[in-house]
Structure 1
Amino acid sequence: MANALQEQLLKSGLVDEKKLKQARQSSPGKKKKKKGKGNAEAAPAPSAADEARRREAERSRRLNEERKAAAERKAREAQIRQLIETHRLDRAGADVAYHFQHGRVIRHVYVTPKQRERLGSGQLAIVDLDGAYEVIPRDTAERIAERDPERFLVRNDPEPSAPSDEDDPYAGYEVPDDLMW
Structure 2
Amino acid sequence: MAKTLQEQLLQAGLVDQKKAKQIKQQKRKQKKQTPRGHEGVDEVKLATQKAREEKAEKDREKNRQLQVEAELRSLQAQVKQIIEMNRIARNDGEVGYQFTDGTKIKKIYVTEAQQNALAKGQIAIARLEELYELIPKGAAEKILQRNADAIVLLNQQDSQEEVDEDDPYADYQIPDDLMW
- TM-score bracket, shorter-length normalisation: 0.5 to 0.7
Q: Is the 8 A contact 2:126 2:132 kept in 1?
A: yes
Instruction: After the TM superposition, list the runs of 4 or more consecutive aligned residues in structure 1 that deviate by more than 2 angstroms.
Output: 42-46, 160-164
Farther-moved stretch of structure 1 (56-65 vs 103-112): 103-112
1:47-104 deviations in whole A, cap 9, x for unaligned? Answer: 1111110110000000100111111111111100000000000112211110011122
Superposed, 1:155-174 pairs within 5 Å as 155-158=154-157, 160-161=158-159, 168-170=164-166
After superposition, the CA RMSD in angstroms is 2.5
Seq. identity, %: 32
Equivalenced residue count is: 132
Change (3 A) 1:75 1:163: closer
Give the Cα separation in 1 of the matches to 2:121 and 2:161. Answer: 19
Q: Is the 8 A contact 2:128 2:150 kept in 1?
A: no
Structure 1 residue 168, shift from structure 2 partner: 4.0
Structure 1 residue 163, shift from structure 2 partner: 5.5
Give the Cα separation in 1 of the matches to 2:62 and 2:136. Answer: 39
Give the Cα separation in 2 of the matches to 1:91 and 1:161. Answer: 29
Q: For structure 1, list consecutive stretches of 5 or more residues without a partner in the other structure.
A: 6-31, 35-41, 174-181
Farther-moved stretch of structure 1 (42-51 vs 120-129): 42-51
Give the Cα separation in 2 of the matches to 1:79 and 1:33. Answer: 61
**Secondary structure of residue in 2 paired with 1:90:** coil
Structure 1 residue 105, shift from structure 2 partner: 1.3
Structure 1 residue 161, shift from structure 2 partner: 2.4
Give the Cα separation in 1 of the matches to 2:121 and 2:41. Answer: 70
Query: What residue in structure 1 maps to residue 11 of structure 2?
Result: none
1:95-151 deviations in whole A, cap 9, x for unaligned? Answer: 111001112211101111000000011111111101000010000000001111222
Farther-moved stretch of structure 1 (45-54 vs 62-71): 45-54
Give the Cα separation in 2 of the matches to 1:71 and 1:50. Answer: 31
Give the Cα separation in 1 of the matches to 2:111 and 2:97. Answer: 9
TM-score (norm 1): 0.65
Q: Which amino acid is the alignment partner of residue 120 of structure 1?
A: A
1:134 and 2:130 matched = no
More helix per residue: 1 or 2?
Answer: 2
Query: What residue in structure 1 maps to residue 74 of structure 2?
Result: 75
Q: Which amino acid is the alignment partner of residue 110 of structure 1?
A: Y
Superposed, 1:1-181 pairs within 5 Å as 33=37, 47-158=46-157, 160-161=158-159, 168-170=164-166
1:4-37 deviations in whole A, cap 9, x for unaligned? Answer: x9xxxxxxxxxxxxxxxxxxxxxxxxxx747xxx
TM-score (norm 2): 0.66
Q: For structure 2, list consecutive stretches of 5 or more residues without a partner in the other structure.
A: 3-35, 169-180
